[in-house]
């Protein structure tokens, strides 16, 4: 049963805030905190039910297997996928994207191209750059406007009959821009181009419905949506799933092996070589359960509200420049304090127990578009409050007073 929420109540679900009562945690785009429910799931498994999956004939193992496999269905339901067999477990968004890029490498011929956007995280840029270089293909980039939006009028000319895939982020991890992936997917499909959506910053924040969207691949990480580190998801549409090949070879992914050849299991099991990350996957399942207790509309509304208020208050101060001004944005804002290096800003905020990120946020080309070498980033979640914003703005005024 989902409900609207009060961030102060939600905060009680997260033990980190009991252990650090003064902490203002504004680094949610890097990783979110984990609620008790997720921590308990992992610890219960380790203490009471720990066993490897898929291979054991004893009860602990078959129980673990059933629970591990059930998480595929939970994740599928969260993102509106066809069913659990469209969901592969990975180490995170980075690995999910690398699996797709590795599989598409074999489909590339010299002269082909891959289209990405100018606001991609390095995880959704470098894998494509590497395979393009290796195969003599080119990487084409949808430009970004000064407002921090994609120049979609360029999309039609960027895609042609040699475009093999389009990879785009749902939400920018720097500017918070919510890209119109539905429109982008429609355009890509008109040209028969498959599309990968990087949902690292949208899963758990925005309602996603892959089937309605028509995404061919979708990637995200558990640790950014209240789940554990080292666990991620790759969704593949049933039409494209058979085109994905293992990135890692080894045990757990085979039908039959002899010294001459190997017959692999089908997707998604063929992508999960080695002993499975069972506690991570169960933790992901608990994170999905947790997300479902929150009303998706209220989550994005709350995070959007915090970002809007932060921008307004920061701009009122006159010494802060905010990067971009996208019409649709999530709870992420990048900014700079005039005359102060972003690392100094972040260090000062840290001395006031305010955790933010400073640097290029693994999106160096985007910062070039925006004419900034680096920036400070605040990113919000369900447990953040308007009072925390005010305390941060006060700390930024002190930064300006002492530094500039």
Ligand X SMILES: Cc1ncc(COP(=O)(O)O)c(C=O)c1O
Binding site for ligand X (CB under 6 A): 29, 92-94, 121, 123-124, 169, 173, 198, 200-201, 221
The rounded distance, in Å, linking the Cα atoms of 367 and 175 is 10
What is the SS3 assignment for 52-69?
CCCCCCCHHHHHHHHHHH
Q: Using the Cα atoms of residue 314, residue 357, residue 277 and residue 97 in order, give the sign of their dihedral.
A: positive
The rounded distance, in Å, linking the Cα atoms of 34 and 38 is 6
Q: Nearest 10 degrees: CA dihedral of 67, 73, 78, 83?
A: 170
**Which of 123/276 has CB closer to ligand X?**
123
Using DSSP, how many helices (H) and how many strands (E) does the chain show? 14, 15
**Which of 228/285 has CB closer to ligand X?**
228
CB of 251 to ligand X, least distance (A): 24
Tell me, what DSSP letter sits at residue 265?
Answer: P
CB of 94 to ligand X, least distance (A): 3
- Active centre residues (catalytic): 362
Tell me, what DSSP letter sits at residue 188?
Answer: H
For the beta carbon of residue 281, count every other beta carbon within 10 angstroms.
26
CB of 292 to ligand X, least distance (A): 21
The rounded distance, in Å, linking the Cα atoms of 234 and 236 is 6
CB of 232 to ligand X, least distance (A): 6
CB of 219 to ligand X, least distance (A): 7
Residue 14, classed as helix, strand or coil, is coil
CB of 375 to ligand X, least distance (A): 14
The rounded distance, in Å, linking the Cα atoms of 184 and 193 is 11
**Which of 92/112 has CB closer to ligand X?**
92
Residue 245, classed as helix, strand or coil, is coil
The separation between CA 302 and the C-alpha centre of its own chain, rounded to angstroms, equals 19
**Which of 16/30 has CB closer to ligand X?**
30
Tokens of 260: 């001459």
**Which of 167/276 has CB closer to ligand X?**
167
**Which of 173/270 has CB closer to ligand X?**
173
> Minimal CA–CA distance to 378: which of 394, 365, 364, 389?
389
């Amino acid at each position: 049963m989902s409900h609207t929420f009060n961030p102060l109540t939600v905060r009680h679900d997260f033990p980190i805030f009991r252990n650090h009562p003064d902490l203002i945690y504004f680094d949610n785009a890097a990783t979110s905190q984990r609620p008790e429910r997720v921590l308990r799931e992992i610890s219960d498994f380790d203490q009471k039910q720990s066993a490897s999956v898929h291979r054991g004939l004893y009860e602990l193992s078959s129980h673990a297997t059933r629970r591990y496999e059930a998480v595929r269905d939970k994740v599928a339901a969260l993102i509106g996928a066809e069913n659990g067999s469209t969901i592969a477990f990975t180490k995170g968004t980075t690995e999910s994207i690398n699996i797709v890029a590795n599989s598409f490498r074999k489909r590339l011929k010299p002269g082909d191209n891959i289209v990405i956007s100018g606001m991609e995280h390095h995880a959704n840029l470098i894998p494509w750059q590497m395979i393009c270089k290796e195969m003599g293909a080119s990487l084409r980039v949808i430009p970004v406007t000064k407002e921090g939006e994609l120049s979609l009028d360029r999309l039609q000319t960027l895609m042609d009959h040699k475009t093999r895939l389009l990879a785009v982020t749902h939400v920018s991890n720097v500017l918070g821009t919510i890209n119109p992936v539905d429109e982008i997917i429609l355009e890509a499909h008109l040209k028969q181009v498959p599309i990968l959506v990087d949902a690292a910053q949208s899963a758990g924040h925005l309602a996603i419905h892959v089937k309605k969207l028509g995404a061919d691949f979708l990637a995200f990480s558990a640790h950014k949506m209240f789940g554990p580190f080292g666990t991620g998801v790759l969704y593949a549409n049933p039409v494209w799933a058979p085109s994905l090949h293992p990135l890692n070879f080894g045990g757990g992914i085979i039908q039959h092996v002899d010294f001459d050849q190997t017959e692999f299991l089908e997707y998604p099991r063929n992508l999960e070589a080695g002993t499975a990350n069972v506690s991570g996957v169960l933790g992901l399942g608990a994170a999905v359960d947790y997300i479902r207790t929150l009303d998706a509309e209220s989550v994005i509304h709350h995070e959007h509200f915090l970002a809007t208020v932060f921008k307004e208050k920061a701009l009122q101060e006159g010494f802060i420049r905010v990067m971009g001004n996208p019409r649709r944005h999530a709870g992420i804002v990048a900014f700079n304090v005039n005359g102060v290096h972003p690392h100094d800003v972040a260090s000062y905020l840290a001395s006031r127990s305010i955790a933010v990120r400073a640097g290029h946020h693994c999106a160096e080309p985007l910062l070039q578009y925006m004419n900034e070498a680096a920036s400070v980033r605040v990113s919000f979640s369900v447990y953040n409050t308007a009072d925390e914003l005010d305390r941060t703005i006060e700390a930024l005024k002190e930064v300006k007073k002492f530094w500039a």
